[in-house]
Structure 1
Amino acid sequence: MSTRETAEPAEPTGPASTIDVDHSDAAYRQWLKEAVRKVQADANRSADTHLLRFPLPERWGIDLYLKDESTHPTGSLKHRLARSLFLYGLCNGWIRPGKPVIEASSGSTAVSEAYFASLIGVPFIAVMPRTTSPEKIRLIEFHGGRCHFVDDSRKMYEESAALAAATGGHYMDQFTYAERATDWRGNNNIAESIYQQLRLERHPVPAWIVATAGTGGTSATIARYVHYMMYDTRVCVPDPENSCFFEGWTTGNADAASDCGSRIEGIGRPRMEPSFVPGAIDRMMKVPDAASIAAVRALENAIGRKAGGSTGTGLWSALKIVAEMVAEGRTGSVVTLICDPGDRYLDKYYSDAWLAEQGLDIAPYSAAIDEFLGSGVWPDRLARPGTAAA
């Protein structure tokens, strides 16, 4: 059986909670120090990611930036998260030599975690929907990880926990620990990096930062940092179709749920995740999937870079915010993220055949972006659909 077709957990060695591990053992402590050193050294080797400008008419007095997280060693925003999760798990004594790390992930987090697992020499198993893009599967396996598929994305959590119990491994559980594993007060997190890179720009404190949510950890880190540093920046979280975050945020329902998974890989969830911190953010937008894909294709036309669908979700919302600022005569800057590269999705978001199969018509949204960039006026037919603000 191939590693990507695992149907049953590995041979049980007993639940992790019953394994007797002496954490004062000299060999374990030496392994732990070396593992932490390797993970921290990865950060030292990686230069900060670039902050790119999206071209807007100069007369508007507004600058739109994209923080290009696709330049991390594993090619996505999730590299930061995976590094933090591994340090958190190691320093808590949860990750042990020779025992697998298991993660529930639709792709990019698993790619990055497979990289760090290989770096410190432990096995890695990704529990993911069967619909995950082939390129992400290839990258997980490239870094030595195994792929364990589920047909229902809502079953990822319990399947991951079961695999950890059966193998004596550690279920990383990004959806619970993402918001607490990262030091949101600074320490070169993504928020601190954005402000450092903007310090010589004409609008060094952005009016808005737009961050999509998968775990919710990035939006929590950015929002907390903004409040901690007493900036006037507001934080917007766009949400794709088939995700419950928008409903849960607008209604205050912590039990909000969706019956199916998001088509925009890496963001949107069928349940309100523990790492999503609704009270920290200022605004949410519900973004049609066709709009996300239209925006990511517009990005390629504007700066010559392909990016994943979640980047399009954020860019669509950022452009709407820019349109509101233009309409109100305000100047300033807006920041959103390039979450991962588009070459992982050539058979999806850049495939007209896939769009037709999904029943997605991006033409009206593409036309709206072109009209706005040419006139400075957001088309009335798409005026603020599915948006909510605090």
Structure 2
Amino acid sequence: MLPTLPPPAGRAWVNQAVLALEADTARSADTHLHRIGLPAHWGIELYLKDESTHRSGSLKHRLAKSLFLYGLVNGWITEGTTIVESSSGSTAVSEAYFARLLGLPFVAVVAATTSEQKIDLIRELGGTCHLIQDASAVDAEARRLAAETGGHYMDQFTYAERATDWRGNNNIAESIFSQLELEPHPVPAWVVAGAGTGGTSATLGRYIRYHQHESRLAVGDPEGSAFLPAWTAWNDGGDPLAVTGTPSRIEGIGRPLPEPSFVPSVIDLVQTVPDGASVAAMRHLSGWAGLHAGPSTGTNMWQIWRLVAQMRAAGQQGSVVSLICDGAERYAGSHYDAAWLERAGIDTTPYEGVIEAFLADGDWVEP
């Protein structure tokens, strides 16, 4: 006879927390997939999935929910657990949203250079911001704070690629391909993403391979980021973790070191996008398509135009799909501000007019 055991400690709260997360998802519609008009004779369709419309305002909404579920089912998050995260901003905003939903204290360790708009959003959602000057030390400081408080360090940079179910289950990739089903080219020639944790590109790349799609995955990487040299090292048979870079000026993507969730083997192409080009493309998208996005979306857009130009040169028709990562309102005092750009050393001048000229005459001439 089996002994009579007491109910598992804390299990009832965890059950309610998981239910609360799933109920929040059930109340939410999927994000819209915009079809952006290109010259009809090109035979190329462009789509942007607008992740800025999530309740917490960015692509990181999906990741934050996955990280909370991962922590709950692993027994790391229980009633009253202090949640600690190191973040450039958007992940912290989204995690603050879910921490408040579950009634948990939340502390974000962020670089002092993070935009005031994002810091304000974290605080408005009930989170506490712990600012540090050395952006390279956010991970160590977050670990210290979690240990000091007896809390749980979410560690997005380690767990992003494994917390999300890459086979499907309404992840970003499954959502994109489902929304494309009735389009002229439902399997895109290219899927374009940025890399911050590496989780989104890992999910997209794995999903494409698991479902045997012919799509290729491209990543646009900010100036100085370690992801391009890491990907190059992997392709050359070297150690992708042995490379280094510099801190990114494009919030949310690019890293000084390759992160554990970055999986170079599932990416077909990584190219550097100059920071000035990212901002120029961000501005162009706003004026041309009326879609007001942040600078990481600008990085995606510049990479998109390169690939569209390549497809045109090869006489290839098809579709290209990417993401609107977050909205412009978070960058009013930074990437949309001329004085801030000058202080940051980001010059858009060489890249202004390049996209307009390409759309007018079909010739891509990159500075």
**TM-score normalised by L of structure 2:** 0.95
Q: Is the CA contact 1:327–1:377 (under 8 Å) kept in the aligned structure 2?
A: no
- 1:95 equivalent to 2:77? Answer yes
Alignment length (residue pairs): 358
- 1:256 equivalent to 2:238? Answer no
Alignment of 1:123-202 (within 5 A): 123-202=105-184
Alignment of 1:377-388 (within 5 A): 377-379=363-365, 381-382=366-367
| Structure 2 gap ranges (5+) | 235-239
CA distance in 1 between counterparts of 2:185 and 2:291 reads 25
Alignment of 1:1-390 (within 5 A): 25=7, 28-252=10-234, 253-258=240-245, 260-379=246-365, 381-382=366-367
CA distance in 2 between counterparts of 1:357 and 1:54 reads 33
1:333-372 per-position Cα deviation (integer Å, ceiling 9, x unaligned): 0001100001000111111122222232212212111111
**Could you say if the C-alpha distance between residues 275 and 24 of structure 1 is closer, same or farther in structure 2, counting changes exceeding 3 Å?**
farther
Give SS of 1:311's match.
Answer: helix
| Structure 1 gap ranges (5+) | 1-22, 383-390
Give SS of 1:275's match.
Answer: coil
1:16-72 per-position Cα deviation (integer Å, ceiling 9, x unaligned): xxxxxxx97556111111111111111111111011122211110000111100000
CA distance in 1 between counterparts of 2:302 and 2:6 reads 52
CA distance in 2 between counterparts of 1:119 and 1:212 reads 28
CA-CA distance at 1:119 after TM superposition = 0.6
1:80-133 per-position Cα deviation (integer Å, ceiling 9, x unaligned): 000000000000000121120100101000000001111111100000100100
1:285-321 per-position Cα deviation (integer Å, ceiling 9, x unaligned): 1010000000000100122121110000001001110
CA distance in 2 between counterparts of 1:24 and 1:50 reads 47
Q: Percent identity over the alignment?
A: 58
**Could you say if the C-alpha distance between residues 208 and 26 of structure 1 is closer, same or farther in structure 2, counting changes exceeding 3 Å?**
same
Q: Which amino acid aligns with 1:371?
A: A
- Measured on the aligned residues, the alpha-carbon RMSD in Å equals 1.3
Q: Is the CA contact 1:185–1:228 (under 8 Å) kept in the aligned structure 2?
A: yes
